[in-house]
Amino acid sequence: MRFKELGKSGIKVSNIAIGCWAIGGDKFWGGNEEKQSIEALQAAVDNGITLIDTAPGYGSGVSEQIVGKAMKGRRDKVVLATKVGIPIGPDADGACHSDYEVIMRQVDESLERLQTDYIDIYQIHWPDFLTPVDETMAAMAKLKEQGKIRAIGVSNYDEAMLAAALDCVQIDCIQPQFSLLHTVNQPIMEFGAPQGVGVLSYGSLGSGILTGKYKEIPTFKDGDARTEMYGPLFQEPMWSKIQQLLVVLREIAEAHNVPVGQVAINWTAQHPLVSSALVGARTAAQAEQNAAAGEWDLTDAEIARINEAHTQIFGGGLLGKRAVWSGTRAKKYKRG
């Protein structure tokens, strides 16, 4: 497994991480089986992955609870990353809240679910357009001073938001969506790098389409994340373009005698601006397969070949759309 320093935090993370949205078992992923999820998390750690990324919003706390159970007796072997801001339970309103009181309350709730007395990387899950950034970052700095968290991160921010946060406190990492099929966030990665901001990227496999497992356009249930967040990938014209790219990825995979998905993971993980590429896994076999991508490297020539094919197929532009929070509070803010 490759390892990288996370920005200026002093924390070393595995270059491939396990993302835990799916194991929350909420409506986006069609349920979940706790025992299977625990086995997946433990398999990831047993195969070299040290970074586990979760959030209260993943299944209304279920994902954090499962991570806590899975890492009992293994806490010293892992870097735990979670998030703050998305209310759960009766307070859920579809928006992110990052005011001082919410952060101070939610951190203790996360610590309890994770069965730990500190969080390695604590991230603002989405922008909060109503709370002043200095209030948000004062709370995060206070948690770091108290020893409840080791590093401060933000997720789904743009450059202006990141700059405002950096004016208040050192931001150790950002979490943007970034993959072969979503490159539009590269500018914020480039913006943060000179200021010591690491990158935890999500969406490495494009919700599974970059594994090559779909032979024809699939049909998903209403509300499935692959329809809501990744819908355009499973529609024309993107579907056919992705199939063209997969031809190149398969040839490289065959040369290394590895699954196609590992090529896509390594393209992201080996990007010079990426500290760790998050990849979801619902079974131990998936976790082992994802971790195995960290045991070999794409050559410079192979990366160049993928990039050339990418340019020819997609036209050389940045793919995807910026994540924009459109919840209740954001709408209020935009109305003034």
Half-sphere exposure of 70 (CA within 13 A, CB side): 27
pLDDT value at position 31?
A: 56
How many angstroms separate the CA atoms of 40 and 36, rounded? 6
| CATH label, 3-335, candidates 3.90.76.10, 3.30.230.10, 2.30.40.10, 3.20.20.100 | 3.20.20.100
Model confidence over 123-150: pLDDT tens digits? 999 999 899 999 999 999 999 999 999 9
Q: What is the mean pLDDT of the chain?
A: 91
pLDDT range class, residue 330, cuts 50, 70, 90:
low
pLDDT value at position 29?
A: 47
- Least confident among 48-52, 65-69, 84-88, 289-293: 84-88
Name, in order, each residue with C-beta under 8 angstroms of 123's C-beta and a sequence gap of 6 or more: 81, 82, 83, 84, 152, 153, 154, 155, 173, 175
Instruction: Indicate whether 333 pLDDT > 50.
Output: no
Helix, strand, or coil here: 42?
Answer: helix
pLDDT value at position 316?
A: 85
Catalytic residues: 58
pTM over 0.85: yes
How many angstroms separate the CA atoms of 7 and 196, rounded? 5
Q: Where do the structural domains in the chain lie, given as residue ranges?
A: 3-335
Kindly state the tokens that stand for 309.
């094919």
